[in-house]
Structure 1
């Protein structure tokens, strides 16, 4: 008996293509990182370079690509992390051992200290501003002890930048004082052997005027009226000025030192040469002949 096909059933089967459902959207998929942002490692400061790599999340990709990449990464981390630790110890040691001295320029030493602080920052060692300023004060040379005490007793703590400016100003002032003292010593030396037929002359750094007790020492003289002018002496006494004029002092070098506007005060104990007036170049108080 022949098998008959149910054409009615076959007619219900469609021969058209079946549409597949869409694939689910991969919302968590990450784009491949832009590795062009990674700088070539130059062998210095591995930790900072490593952090830059971490910031673009490329290390996970490298590990996923090959086991060999992971081994290279681990090897670099072990090698350069140890080197960074050694570098940090070196920088910290330099900072700790650094000292200031009177033999070197203060500005040069300030620059050295600033370089040490920058080296610490490069190693991600960030110290508080108060600590950096306080240590610089402690490192000042022994001759600066009084200045150090003044800074320590200030009500307000100076920042490192303000402290450096303060120190440089103090250094400039000290140099000016030292130069003035050196000039005074030189002046005293030059006048130590004054030859004159008058009373002894004293080179006085505190005197603001030339003073002479002997009227006969004046080469030119103008009387001053009684009570018109007085001077104050060191012991709080006053003395009457009787006149003023020019006095010529002969030096052992053969030259003559002309003192202008010298006050005549008979009861002065010693004739005074004012260092202040001598130090004024081109001033009215002195003429060298």
Structure 2
């Protein structure tokens, strides 16, 4: 049964989104899930075992297993990238080095995208020309990305900010919401 599950998983792997250089955190979580399912994620935190000259059969087997797991892990990570990124990273020798390279590049870019997200939220203004619920969903999408980037904002601040973003024609409704006694939630 396990063999079928892995076989199905690897056959469906091509349907997963390829990493194009954006949304690294999301892609990383999906990739980690895949590698865990395939039982090869163990090579990421574990360094390659060094075999002494007088290695035992057991040590050689563990070394061979690590090599095989690393090969599968590295291959799946590379297969999960766009062709352009594959070309850049294909020469990296181990899955751990590959992950470390991706982390250092794309997590640094993530920190600048956090600033961009905060700016997007702060400067978002609803307009009368678009449906309010459509614009509300845009704001919720931005707040969802906050969660993805481990940015935390108190819900009462979020609600108050969203009320401030309502379009000009909603001025009376905004005033009424701001003067309510009870706490409002995003729902």
Q: What TM-score, normalized to structure 2?
A: 0.51
Which structure: greater helix fraction? 2
2:44 is matched with which residue: 29, 54, 59? 59
| Number of aligned positions between the proteins | 127
**Structure 2, unpaired ranges of 5+:** 1-5, 50-65, 68-91
State the distance in 1 between where 2:174 and 2:137 align. Answer: 19
Question: Could you list the per-position Cα deviations for residues 69-98 of structure 1 after superposition, in whole angstroms to 9, with x for gaps in the alignment?
Answer: 244333222112123223333322222221
Larger Rg: 1
Greater RCO structure (CA 8 Å; 6+ sep): 2
Instruction: Give the drift of 1:114.
Output: 2.3
State the distance in 1 between where 2:42 and 2:113 align. Answer: 27
Secondary structure at the aligned position of 1:60 is classed as coil
Which structure: greater strand fraction? 1
State the distance in 1 between where 2:116 and 2:149 align. Answer: 10
- Residue matched to 2:161: 135
Over the aligned positions, Cα root-mean-square deviation in angstroms equals 3.6
Instruction: Give the drift of 1:101.
Output: 2.1
1:74 is matched with which residue: 100, 107, 111? 100
1:120 equivalent in alignment to 2:98 = no
State the distance in 1 between where 2:101 and 2:112 align. Answer: 17
- Residue matched to 2:109: 83
Change (3 A) 1:68 1:104: closer
Change (3 A) 1:122 1:71: closer
State the distance in 1 between where 2:134 and 2:25 align. Answer: 31
- Residue matched to 2:24: 46
1:109 equivalent in alignment to 2:135 = yes
Q: What TM-score, normalized to structure 1?
A: 0.36
